[in-house]
Structure 1
């Protein structure tokens, strides 16, 4: 099973750049890039809440569960 990160899709739909989002939520572009690619072991709820607030979305818009074999 896998958690799929759709942050890049939501950012594209909102026409928000990585630089803009990183600055708005107070993280580095490098860390945002790792998050977008799903290369992190976890994300703080505070960071997730800031992303959702800025992009006007829900956590479920950013994260999806993919069972094995799909």
Structure 2
């Protein structure tokens, strides 16, 4: 996982206001993974929300930072 990768939610998240299944977004921040408090992935979701993914959250990578850069430069 890298900054710029595209991700999609694959099941309902445990959140008071969860994202819908299938929602996509772009990774803009990755924690340092040294302990449970820093295992986070910051995502700018396509609906305008900025929510982090945590270990165990249901998601998958749907595009890499490299392929996104190629598409933007085309």
Is TM > 0.5 for Structure 1 vs Structure 2? no
Higher share in helix:
1
Name the structure with the higher strand share.
Answer: 2
> Relative contact order: is structure 1 or structure 2 higher (C-alpha 8 Å, sep ≥ 6)?
1
Q: Which has the larger radius of gyration?
A: 2
TM-score norm. by structure 1 comes to 0.33
